[in-house]
């Protein structure tokens, strides 16, 4: 089976700006693939290269095995859900969804049926007669999704589609998008700067920085075994120890990451067990989040670690640690992830 | 005491008083324009309308202040209807031609031109409005005259026969461009063109680029995208521009007085009736015609959905 999308050494430069710099990856058919990165990292440019709104300066973009260099957007079997939804304001919701089939020459009765089905799929049945301006942000988002999916594209591109929604709606849509993807079975390529979104929805994700891909992998791989300091910092909370302090704590002067929820926090007098690494420090700040509490601890020797403790639920360490108190931090050897030497800087 | 923190200077007290009474501020701001529009503008218009229901005594030549439809009956005479028809056709022709010429320019300005080119084009479109309208109309009279540059160039290029053929066209032709309806049309088109370009540019600038990408993304070729998305969304701009060109042409009396045939337009009829003839009721009745035509035009445009995309 051919891959849905292949990038082979693709570059796109705007003057001196290397928006996309020699990027290669394969996306399997039916995969939910996310491109994660800060703004300006090249993820949206990659999406536009797939959609055909932009052409690469060098390298090849392939969709289902065929090179799409020079193929305009209207001749590509991909559809996009735009960040601002881009619904046609002069058409009804129904006409918006029917637009693609109408262009392809599907007879009116048939395309009305297709559009109706899609509006049902995104739970907007009965709203076809409204104008987009009469809908809420969440509803517009669903119309945009229906308008793209009605064409049964080989690949669906989503450009930060949930960015404009409030938190509750965003979480609900994440669950629904994943369910819709399973139902229609098409490849989803999802651009986001929200690591939570990327981790929770994707089969695999690529982390972008400065026009390059830092790491590609499953959410577990990216979170537990970051390959670069950037990935360790951008995905989850950055907890990196390097150089002398790593030597003192873990016995090697290289760089390792330890996730904040894997650190135990003990009174300084309580000795750590044998197989644990341990270090002492001072609590610098404490943030209460309800389900958990987050501490910033300055280690003796300069570096800082973040610790997240779950609240309630049979904690073995019931003690509260106020800012200023001295604590002992401890974690299992197996929880430590050493970054590859060349990427550690 | 906290009140001491509030400055006691007059300006501050005024600001505070107005801040606490937004309605008073609104009243102060809106009274002058409302008085102007209400009394000076609408008032005089109503006075004019009232005049049209009076009539003129044929023997004494004095206005009789009795409400009657006699003036309107006279307005519908064949000669007057010909004036109204000629003006309306001219206004419609000028509007259509202005839209056709303005659209590509407006499209280029709104969607393609760099900021510098756009500024230059804006300047180019607006510049004629800074010089006197009369000077420009007289300049056109020279350009279009039998001894003018157009006739001269046509003869030098061996195209004199073509110009002759155009001028030989019945009804709109004439002895020279400056003495024909074609000439009147050309000058109207030139003078009112900026009023068509600017609203279309504004409308096209408001079409988000993502809509055009979305249309392409859904499989529409550039031509289809233009027909289905860009054009419908710019119709309010065309409608706004057409209101300007149409109503300005309907009411103008200077251009047809300087360039064109001796057949009068509505504006000239109004001028003649209230000036030389002293027939104020008839002049007033003629003034009602463009108002009625514009009302009809706006109603039609609305019915056809010209403002739906607003």
What is the nearest CA distance from A90 to chain B, expressed in angstroms? 5
Q: What are phi and psi of A156, to 5 degrees?
A: -105, 125
What is the nearest CA distance from A194 to chain B, expressed in angstroms? 22
pLDDT at residue A122 is higher than 80:
yes
Confidence of residue B1 (pLDDT cuts 50, 70, 90): very low
Residue A127 and residue A129: Cα distance in Å, rounded? Answer: 6
Whether the CB-CB separation of A36 and A49 falls below 8 Å is answered with no
Sign, CA dihedral A238-A244-A250-A251, equals positive
What is the nearest CA distance from B229 to chain A, expressed in angstroms? 7
Domain coverage including residue A173: 5-234
Would you call B217 and A72 a contact, using CB atoms and an 8 Å cutoff? no
Q: Are residues A181 and A39 located together in one domain of the fold?
A: yes
Residues of chain B with C-beta less than 8 angstroms from the C-beta of A52: 216
Which of B208, B219, B309 faces A74 most closely, judged by CB atoms? B219
Q: Are residues A125 and A268 located together in one domain of the fold?
A: no
CB neighbour list of residue A187: distance below 8 Å, 6 or more residues apart = A4, A5, A27, A28, A29, A30, A31, A32, A33, A154, A155, A156
Confidence of residue B7 (pLDDT cuts 50, 70, 90): low
Reference A191, options A309, A80, A29, A26; nearest CA is A80
**pTM of the complete model:** 0.81
Residue B126 and residue B247: Cα distance in Å, rounded? Answer: 19
Q: Are residues A191 and A300 located together in one domain of the fold?
A: no
Which of A51, A80, A89 faces B309 most closely, judged by CB atoms? A89
* Ranges of H-type helices in B36-170: 44-51, 70-75, 78-107, 115-130, 133-144, 149-156, 160-167
Residues of chain A with C-beta less than 8 angstroms from the C-beta of B211: 86, 88
Comparing alpha-carbon positions, the chain A residue that sits nearest to B232 is: A90
Whether the CB-CB separation of A157 and A50 falls below 8 Å is answered with yes
Confidence of residue B89 (pLDDT cuts 50, 70, 90): very high
Residues of chain B with C-beta less than 8 angstroms from the C-beta of A53: 213, 216-217
Residues of chain B with C-beta less than 8 angstroms from the C-beta of A86: 208, 210-211, 213-214
Task: Please give the ipTM for the structure prediction.
Answer: 0.84
Residues of chain A with C-beta less than 8 angstroms from the C-beta of B220: 74, 99, 103
Query: A322: exposed, middle or buried (C-beta count within 10 Å: 0-12, 13-18, 19+)?
Result: exposed
Would you call A73 and B217 a contact, using CB atoms and an 8 Å cutoff? yes
Confidence of residue B186 (pLDDT cuts 50, 70, 90): very high
Residues of chain A with C-beta less than 8 angstroms from the C-beta of B217: 51, 53, 73-74, 78-80, 148
Q: Mean per-residue pLDDT for B63-85?
A: 88
Reference A64, options A30, A100, A35; nearest CA is A30
pLDDT at position A210: 93
pLDDT tens per residue, range B199-232: 999 999 999 999 999 999 999 999 999 999 999 9
The size of the A-B interface in CB pairs under 8 A is 60
Overall domain count for chain A: 2
Q: Mean per-residue pLDDT for B88-98?
A: 95
pLDDT at residue A157 is higher than 50:
yes
pLDDT at position A250: 80
* Phi-psi domain of B305 (left: phi exceeds 0; alpha: psi -120 through 50; beta: other): left
Whether the CB-CB separation of A338 and A225 falls below 8 Å is answered with no
Would you call B233 and A79 a contact, using CB atoms and an 8 Å cutoff? no
Residues of chain B with C-beta less than 8 angstroms from the C-beta of A74: 216-221
pLDDT at residue A318 is higher than 70:
no
Residue where a domain stops, chosen among A234, A254, A274: A234
All domains of chain B in start order, with CATH: 70-303 (1.10.3720.10)
pLDDT at position A315: 53
Q: Are residues A96 and A207 located together in one domain of the fold?
A: yes
Q: Are residues A263 and A206 located together in one domain of the fold?
A: no
CATH code, domain with A253? 2.40.50.100
Comparing alpha-carbon positions, the chain B residue that sits nearest to A149 is: B218
Residues of chain B with C-beta less than 8 angstroms from the C-beta of A73: 213, 216-217
What is the nearest CA distance from B217 to chain A, expressed in angstroms? 5
What is the nearest CA distance from A197 to chain B, expressed in angstroms? 24
Would you call A90 and B233 a contact, using CB atoms and an 8 Å cutoff? yes
Q: Mean per-residue pLDDT for A196-207?
A: 93
Would you call A103 and B216 a contact, using CB atoms and an 8 Å cutoff? no
Would you call A90 and B208 a contact, using CB atoms and an 8 Å cutoff? no
What is the nearest CA distance from A332 to chain B, expressed in angstroms? 51
Q: Are residues A37 and A133 located together in one domain of the fold?
A: yes
Q: Are residues A283 and A205 located together in one domain of the fold?
A: no
Query: A100: exposed, middle or buried (C-beta count within 10 Å: 0-12, 13-18, 19+)?
Result: buried
Q: Are residues A336 and A252 located together in one domain of the fold?
A: yes
Q: Mean per-residue pLDDT for A298-308?
A: 87
Residue where a domain stops, chosen among A195, A211, A234: A234
Q: Mean per-residue pLDDT for B258-267?
A: 89
Q: How many CB atoms lie within 10 A of CB A78?
A: 25
Sign, CA dihedral A294-A297-A303-A308, equals negative
Comparing alpha-carbon positions, the chain A residue that sits nearest to B206 is: A89
Q: Are residues A258 and A228 located together in one domain of the fold?
A: no
Residue B38 and residue B52: Cα distance in Å, rounded? Answer: 20
Q: Mean per-residue pLDDT for B237-257?
A: 92
Q: Mean per-residue pLDDT for A182-195?
A: 92
pLDDT at position B8: 72
Comparing alpha-carbon positions, the chain B residue that sits nearest to A52 is: B217
Would you call A51 and B217 a contact, using CB atoms and an 8 Å cutoff? yes
pLDDT at residue A328 is higher than 50:
yes
pLDDT tens per residue, range B140-163: 999 999 888 998 998 899 888 888
Would you call A88 and B208 a contact, using CB atoms and an 8 Å cutoff? no
pLDDT at position B169: 82
| Angle (CA) B13 B16 B20, round 5° | 140
Would you call B219 and A80 a contact, using CB atoms and an 8 Å cutoff? no
Residues of chain A with C-beta less than 8 angstroms from the C-beta of B216: 52-53, 72-74
Residue A255 and residue A244: Cα distance in Å, rounded? Answer: 10
Q: Does the beta carbon of A141 lie under 8 angstroms from any beta carbon of chain B?
A: no
Would you call A89 and B229 a contact, using CB atoms and an 8 Å cutoff? no
Q: Are residues A180 and A268 located together in one domain of the fold?
A: no
pLDDT at residue A344 is higher than 50:
no
Would you call A74 and B220 a contact, using CB atoms and an 8 Å cutoff? yes
pLDDT at residue B21 is higher than 70:
yes
Would you call B214 and A151 a contact, using CB atoms and an 8 Å cutoff? no
What is the nearest CA distance from A114 to chain B, expressed in angstroms? 15
**CA-based diameter of chain A, in Å?**
78
Q: Are residues A263 and A178 located together in one domain of the fold?
A: no
CATH code, domain with A216? 3.40.50.300
Residue where a domain stops, chosen among A197, A216, A234: A234
* Region of poorest pLDDT, from A238-242, A311-315, B121-125, B275-279: A311-315
Would you call A103 and B309 a contact, using CB atoms and an 8 Å cutoff? no
Whether the CB-CB separation of B192 and B101 falls below 8 Å is answered with no
CB neighbour list of residue A315: distance below 8 Å, 6 or more residues apart = A309
Q: Are residues A128 and A256 located together in one domain of the fold?
A: no
């Amino acid at each position: 089976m051919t891959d849905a999308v292949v990038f082979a050494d693709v570059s796109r430069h705007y003057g001196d700006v290397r928006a996309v710099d020699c990027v290669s990856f394969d996306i399997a058919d039916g995969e939910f693939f996310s491109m994660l990165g800060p703004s300006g990292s090249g993820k949206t440019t990659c999406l536009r290269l797939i959609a055909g709104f932009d052409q690469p300066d060098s390298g090849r973009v392939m969709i289902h095995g065929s090179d799409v260099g020079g193929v305009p957007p209207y001749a590509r079997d991909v559809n996009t859900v735009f960040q601002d939804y881009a619904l046609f304001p002069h058409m009804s919701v129904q006409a918006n969804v029917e637009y693609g089939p109408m262009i392809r020459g599907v007879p009116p009765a048939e395309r009305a049926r297709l559009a109706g089905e899609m509006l049902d799929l995104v739970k907007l049945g009965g709203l076809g007669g409204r104008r987009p301006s009469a809908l809420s942000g969440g509803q517009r988002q669903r119309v945009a999704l229906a308008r793209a999916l009605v064409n049964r594209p080989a690949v669906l591109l989503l450009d930060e589609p949930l960015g404009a929604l409030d938190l509750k709606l965003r979480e609900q849509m994440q669950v629904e998008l994943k369910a819709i993807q399973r139902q229609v079975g098409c490849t989803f390529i999802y651009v986001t700067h929200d690591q939570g979104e990327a981790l929770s929805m994707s089969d695999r994700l690529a982390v972008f920085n400065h026009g390059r891909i830092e790491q590609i992998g499953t959410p577990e791989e990216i979170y537990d075994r970051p390959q670069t300091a950037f990935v360790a910092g951008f995905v989850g909370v950055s907890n990196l120890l390097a150089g002398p302090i790593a030597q003192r704590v873990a016995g090697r002067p290289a760089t390792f990451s330890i996730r904040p929820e894997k650190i135990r926090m003990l009174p300084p007098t309580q000795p750590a067990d044998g197989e644990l690494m341990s270090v002492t420090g001072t609590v610098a700040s404490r943030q209460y989040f309800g389900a958990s509490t987050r501490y910033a601890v300055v280690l003796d020797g300069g570096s800082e670690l973040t610790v997240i403790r779950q609240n309630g639920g049979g904690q073995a360490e019931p003690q509260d640690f106020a800012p200023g108190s001295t604590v002992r931090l401890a974690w299992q050897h197996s929880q430590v992830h050493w970054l590859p030497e060349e990427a550690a800087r | 005491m906290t009140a001491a923190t509030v400055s006691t200077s007059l300006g501050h007290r005024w600001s505070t008083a107005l801040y606490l009474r937004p309605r008073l501020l609104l009243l102060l701001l809106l009274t002058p324009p409302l008085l102007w529009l209400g009394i000076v503008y609408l008032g005089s218009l109503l006075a004019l309308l009232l005049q049209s229901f009076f009539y003129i005594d044929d023997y004494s030549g004095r206005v009789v202040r009795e409400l009657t439809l006699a003036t309107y009956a006279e307005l519908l005479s064949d000669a007057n209807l010909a004036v109204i028809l000629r003006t309306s056709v001219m206004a419609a022709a000028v509007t259509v031609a202005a839209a056709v010429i303005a659209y590509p320019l407006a499209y280029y300005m709104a969607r393609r031109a760099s900021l510098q080119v756009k500024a230059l084009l804006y300047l180019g479109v607006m510049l004629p409005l800074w010089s006197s309208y009369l000077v420009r109309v007289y300049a056109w009279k020279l350009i279009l005259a039998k001894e003018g540059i157009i006739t001269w160039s046509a003869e030098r290029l061996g195209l004199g026969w073509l110009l002759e053929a155009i001028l030989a066209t019945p009804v709109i032709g004439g002895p020279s461009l400056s003495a024909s309806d074609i000439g009147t049309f050309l000058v109207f088109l030139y003078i009112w063109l900026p009023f068509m370009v600017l609203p279309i540019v504004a409308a096209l600038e408001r079409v988000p680029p993502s809509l055009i990408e979305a249309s392409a993304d859904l499989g529409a070729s550039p031509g289809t995208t233009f027909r289905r998305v860009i054009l419908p969304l710019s119709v309010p701009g065309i409608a706004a521009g057409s209101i300007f060109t149409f109503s300005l042409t309907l009411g103008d009396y200077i251009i047809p007085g300087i360039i064109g045939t001796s057949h009068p337009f509505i504006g000239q009829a109004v001028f003649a009736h209230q000036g030389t003839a002293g027939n104020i009721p008839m002049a007033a009745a003629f003034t009602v015609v463009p108002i009625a035509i514009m009302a009809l035009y706006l109603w039609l445009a609305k019915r056809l959905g010209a403002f739906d995309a607003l």
